[in-house]
Amino acid sequence: MRRKSVLKDLVYQSSEILLDLSFKWVREGKIDFAKNAIRILEEIRRETNIRIPIYMRRMYCKKCYVPLIPGLTARVRIIGRGKMLRRVVTCLSCGEIYRLEFMKNKIKTDYS
């Protein structure tokens, strides 16, 4: 196995562990510990120059490094506009807003 792929696996594993710990700490009320875990994750990502998956990047606020848990640290709204849906996530600690647009699923009906 090449060195780069081993490093990539290690970064993915450590990022999953750090995200799990940060979510656990937020639920326990230790928000400072959670912020530090996310900062460590960002530092590892920057130093190794490896991109973490998009679903992990959407799990925390890029401005204040708080894990985004709906109802606890984030407000999530779904807004429908024609054929498009928009998910709006607002960080409750700093007020940063993240928007993600996606297509509505077409519902197929069987008229037989």
pLDDT tens, 12-60? Answer: 999 999 999 999 999 999 999 999 999 999 999 999 999 889 999 999 9
Domain limits of the chain? Answer: 3-103
pLDDT score, position 111:
54
56-80 pLDDT tens trace: 999 999 999 999 999 999 999 999 8
* Rounded Cα distance, 35 and 6, in Å: 27
Q: Is 26 exposed, middle or buried (0-12, 13-18, 19+ CB in 10 A)?
A: buried
Predicted confidence band at 85 (pLDDT cuts at 50, 70, 90)?
confident
pTM over 0.85: no
What dihedral do alpha carbons 90, 79, 19, 95 form, nearest 10°?
A: -10
